[in-house]
Structures are given as structure tokens and as C-alpha cells.
Amino acid sequence: MDREDVLACLSALSQGTRLDTFRLLVRHEPDGLPAGEIARQLDVPQNTMSTHLAILTRARLLRSERQSRSIVYRAELDRLRDVTVFLVKDCCDGRAEICQPLLAELLPCCPPESAAR
């Protein structure tokens, strides 16, 4: 991931409804949600939601799949990981003790597979 990719993602997420949409879809992984349900849960008109979904999709933060008459959206968790890694890759100039609070904050929601067993 390069600087321009990260800027595209951050730009797409820099609007409240789009940020809420992405967070909602992260919570609904791996099943995703239909566009209409996203609009309903966030209380956003469907045509407005379509615009937000398109922006997030162009930034490759979402993917969509047609299921019958619905379009189901899912968060691109690999893209989220790539943006996060880009932002913290040079964290604290290699001083792990400074980055430890950040890592500790992330681990409770996403324990490593070895710890989950």
C-alpha cells in the first residue's frame, strides 16, 4: 500500500456517514448487509446511502455482491489492515515499549488464533 492508497481510504472515511457505514459493516463481517438495511440502520435516505457506498467502494474499503434483488456490502478487512499497518509501520522508531499500549488496545477485540484456543 502506498501513500496515495492510504489517502484515498482516509478521504473516503473522513465523512461521518461513511465512517459509520464502514464501522457497521465491520461489525457485520463476514455476512455483510444489504444496502437498504445499511440505510435503514443509519437512518439515511437510500439515494444518499448509494452515493456513500459508491465512494467507499471506489476507495476499495467495501465490496459488493448481488444476491437476488439486493446488493450486499461487506467491509474489506484486508484493506483496513493495510491502512493500519501503513500508519503504524514505523511506530515509535522501533521502540516497542512505546507502541505496546496501541497493540494492547487492539488485541482484546482480535485475539491471535493461538490465544483463542
Q: How many CA atoms lie within 13 A of 38 on its CB side?
A: 33
Tell me the average confidence (pLDDT) per consecutive run of 10 residues in the chain, 117 residues long: 95 98 96 97 97 98 95 96 87 78 74 56
Name all domains of the chain by residue range, CATH numbers in brackets: 3-78 (1.10.10.10)
Where are the strands (E) in 32-116, listed by range? 33-34, 62-67, 70-75
